[in-house]
Amino acid sequence: MSGTKAKTSLFAGLLAAYAGLMLANPVFPSLARELGLSEVQAGIVISAAALVFAVGSPLWGWLCDRAGRKPVFIAGLFGIGLSYILFAGLSYLGLIGVLTGTALFAALLAARVVIGAMIGGVPVSAQAYMADITQTADRSAGMALIGAANGLGTLLGPALAAVLVTFGLLVPFFAGAAIALAAALVLVFAMPRSPHQQTLERPPKIMPWDGRIWPFLLFAFATVTIIVLLQITLGFYLIDRFGLTPVNAAQWASISLFAVGIALAVVQGVFVARFKWSPHTLLRGGPPIMVVGLICAVLAPSVPLLVAAFAVMGVGGGLLFPGFTSGASLTVSEDEQGAMAGLNTATNGAGAVFGPLIATALYQIDVTAPFLAGAVVFAALAVFAWAHPTLWPANMPKVE
């Protein structure tokens, strides 16, 4: 099997999935307001999807080991496309008054749960597929390619949404569905099958407390939780710290996250992929950079310098994500790759669930508390990365 063709197919499918998702996500708050949903109802709809994503990911991992990587990856893309059509269709019924009140809220909640359930199949199968087509020394670079697709999709999706939303609030949803479905159809024929063939009747299960993997899951949970925490509080921080209007705060928040996306994509897609840094190097290098970025965000005297601080955090995240993903993959056997990918994705989802809850609690204490708490967490991870002896198993390359 051509490694280049396999990686290109995987990258294209991931880019379609993430760009499609990010087409719709920025539009949802405005759509919720137009549909008459309260802020609490909108938050429940979003959190429900994240919760189902976290809970369902291990099941996708099991299915990935049982049915194969490519079928699950394509099924996830089809699921994203069809579930977005369902969500947009129900939203249309709400806009024209056919569905209202509790019935509309329940319908959108159910549709969003379907979206959350289907999304998990894509990153889980992608991680397992990448593990199959890369050797030990190339694993970090391969996982970085997945992160680069995520970062690029995060950049392209909102930019395209800003154009499409001028034609209607539901247009980005249908566009995201079309992109995912088109990618799925193309990859049915273009994507090579994974070289790994599952021969076990019952694929092995891995528990989160498994001594080989829990340190990497700890890194994953902490990283995603802090990143989501910052995303939730950034707009409020811009208003309260710098006195911006809500509109200006939204604009600068978008610019800040755009800077993060660029940093993530460049670090993972260029530097990690080019130099093939090991998980050993990535997990030691990422936390200190995150600490610097977070402290700079607290001390930043102006909004442009705050954006620069977020770009620094993007660099740190660009090291951390391929670090804990490839590290976990390298510690398990070939037959356990699907289960490991499911656990890793579930851990990311758990961070997305808890992040908003922690964010609001900390922000009520002080506007800088989320940043300072994040700095403390990453400082602790930096110490852990250097001190924990079992984090670097013998079969893991230690390229410095």
Alpha-carbon gap, residue 323 to 281, rounded angstroms: 8
Structure tokens at 33: 């307001």
- Domain 206-393 belongs in CATH node 3.90.79.10: no
- In order of 24, 50, 231, 277, the CA distances from 46 in angstroms are 12, 7, 14, 35
Q: Between these two residues, 398 and 100, which has the higher pLDDT value?
A: 100
Q: Between these two residues, 38 and 107, which has the higher pLDDT value?
A: 107
Residue type, 283: L
45, pLDDT greater than 60: yes
Query: What pLDDT does 202 receive?
Result: 59
pLDDT tens digits, 191-215: 998 876 554 455 567 777 777 788 8
Among candidates 352, 327, 349, which has minimal Cα distance to 340? 327
Q: Which helix (H) or strand (E) holds 157?
A: helix 139-164
Mean local confidence (pLDDT), 270-298? 90
Q: pLDDT-based confidence at 399, cuts 50/70/90?
A: very low
- In order of 35, 57, 65, the CA distances from 314 in angstroms are 34, 25, 32
362, pLDDT greater than 50: yes
389, pLDDT greater than 50: yes
Most confident of 19-28, 38-47, 189-198, 301-310: 301-310
Query: What pLDDT does 165 receive?
Result: 81
Q: pLDDT-based confidence at 96, cuts 50/70/90?
A: very high
Torsion angle of the four alpha carbons 345, 361, 300, 380, in this order, in degrees rounded to the nearest 10? -60
Query: What pLDDT does 198 receive?
Result: 54
206-393 and 1-192 share a CATH fold: yes
Among candidates 121, 127, 288, 276, which has minimal Cα distance to 213? 127
Q: pLDDT-based confidence at 394, cuts 50/70/90?
A: very low
This prediction has a pTM of 0.76
Alpha-carbon gap, residue 250 to 248, rounded angstroms: 5
Q: Between these two residues, 30 and 309, which has the higher pLDDT value?
A: 309
Average pLDDT over all residues of the chain: 85
The answer to whether 147 touches 264, Cβ cutoff 8 Å, is: yes
Mean local confidence (pLDDT), 21-44? 79
pLDDT > 70: what percent of the chain?
A: 93
- In order of 99, 202, 275, the CA distances from 109 in angstroms are 13, 34, 44
343, pLDDT greater than 60: yes
Query: What pLDDT does 219 receive?
Result: 94
Q: pLDDT-based confidence at 247, cuts 50/70/90?
A: low
Q: Write 362-368 long-range contacts (CB < 8 A, 24+).
A: 362/229, 362/233, 363/233, 363/236, 363/237, 367/233, 367/236, 367/237, 367/240, 367/241, 368/241, 368/298
Q: pLDDT-based confidence at 178, cuts 50/70/90?
A: very high
Residue ranges of domains in the chain: 1-192, 206-393
Most confident of 170-174, 209-213, 318-322, 371-375: 371-375
Lowest mean pLDDT among 10-24, 25-39, 67-81, 132-146: 25-39
205 burial (CB, 10 Å; 0-12 / 13-18 / 19+) is middle
For domain 1-192, the CATH superfamily is: MFS general substrate transporter like domains (1.20.1250.20)
**Cα 75 to the center of its chain, rounded Å:** 19
Q: Between these two residues, 96 and 339, which has the higher pLDDT value?
A: 96
